[in-house]
Chain A
Amino acid sequence: MTETWRLIDMRIEDAPTQMSIDEAIALARPKGETPNTVRLYRWDPSAVSIGYFQSVEKEVNLEACEEKGVDVIRRITGGGAVYHDYNGEITYSIVAPEKDPRIPRDILASYELICGAIVRGLEELGVDCEFKPVNDIVAGDKKISGNAQTRRHGVVLQHGTVLVDSDIRTMFQVLRVSDAKISDKLIQAVEERVTNVRRYLGREVLFEEARDALVKGFEETFDVVLEPGELTEREEGLVKELHEKYSSREWVYQR
């Protein structure tokens, strides 16, 4: 019989809540109270998330964020800075025990497997793309998804961004790519290195269509059924506790 995993489906929340939910699910998983979980979600307001080890000032144009009402948050995972566009981006996360037979122990292999679910989803939409080590998915030579993983308490948590119709110009206004001296010409070159599903296909792609494709990608890759569910009471409690950390200046500005 095909195993069932929980799907927390397209919750729209602010940045501290989204990051709290991912960590809460990872904290609750080892207790065995919850099944493996996949989330698909959007950020309201739009936000920049930076990797655990990154410097806010060096990665984020804080003035541009303030002007545009874009929130800034530090993730629990390493990796690079991401612009989560409310109008054009879907974030996914997956939580499973490290000892799950489907999850390779080798980190690169586990990125490749989980990113494979996103690749399948994107292919379902008609995007010809592939996993590019160490943690990206590219369509042609352009990045369309970035991914980040952590392992703690015997659990793998991986989350990542899927650029459906993200505003790439705004992306490079809120993210600092290099030093402040970057020329317009260079900005253009950087923008050329990223794409999104809409741009790739040359047609409008609704969130619903992208969501359905990503669900299918996970189901086929892991040979499971994703069943829509809710957070448990304990997870909701953890979200409340963690929200304080993620929204604090100490956390966001620690580096």
Chain B
Amino acid sequence: MKRAEYKVPGGKLLVAETEVEEGFLTTVKVMGDFFMHPEEAINDLEEALNGKETAKIDEIVADFFGGKEITLFGVSEEDFAHVLKLTLES
């Protein structure tokens, strides 16, 4: 399990945990004190990333937020991609 934390400047804390096998995400969990409406969309984001190549994190996160009516507060969609990629370096 790889874990990373990212405090968005002037914003909220994002925590990500991932497991990677041969370049593919096998576990994805995003936590923190941020706001996302509707809240349940976090499960869909994790689901969208699960089983995908780590090289495609940016693309998948952008597609995910692009295709849905999701409101973020205290974090941006780029921050999600950022904290997920940070786990790969840990």
Contacts and interface: CB of A to CB of B under 8 A. Distances in A.
Interface of A: 51-55, 58, 76-81, 107-108, 133-135, 148-152, 255
Contacts of A81: 33
17 contacts: A51-B32, A52-B42, A53-B30, A53-B34, A53-B36, A54-B32, A77-B35, A78-B36, A108-B73, A134-B11, A134-B12, A134-B74, A135-B35, A150-B35, A150-B37, A151-B37, A255-B29
Interface string B30-72: 1111111111001000000000000000000000000000010
Given A53-B42, A55-B15, A152 B31 contact: no
Contacts of A78: 33-36, 39, 73-74
A108 B42 CA distance: 21
Nearest to A51: B33
A53 B39 contact: yes
B30 to A, nearest CB: 7
A105 B29 CA distance: 30
A73 to B, nearest CB: 15
Contacts of A77: 35, 39
A192 to B, nearest CB: 20
Nearest to A156: B37
Contacts of A152: 37-38
A135 to B, nearest CB: 8
A135 B71 CA distance: 16
Contacts of B12: 134
A78 B30 CA distance: 13
Contact of B39 (A76, A108, A135): A76
Interface residues of B, number: 19
Contact of B32 (A53, A76, A134, A148): A53
Nearest to A75: B39
Given A78-B35, A78-B36, A78-B39, 12 more contacts: A53-B31, A53-B33, A53-B36, A53-B39, A77-B39, A78-B33, A107-B35, A107-B73, A135-B74, A148-B35, A150-B35, A150-B37
Interface string B65-90: 00000010110000000000000000
Interface in B1-18: 10-12, 15
A134 B7 CA distance: 14
A49 B16 CA distance: 21
When A and B form their complex, which 6 residue pairs have the shortest distance between CB atoms, in order from nearest? A78-B35, A80-B33, A52-B39, A151-B37, A55-B31, A107-B73
Given A53-B42, A108-B73, A79 B31 contact: no
Nearest to A133: B10
Contacts of B30: 53
A54 B73 CA distance: 15
A189 B73 CA distance: 28
Contacts of A53: 30-34, 36, 39, 42
Contacts of B73: 78, 107-108, 134, 149
Contact of A79 (B15, B35, B38, B71): B35
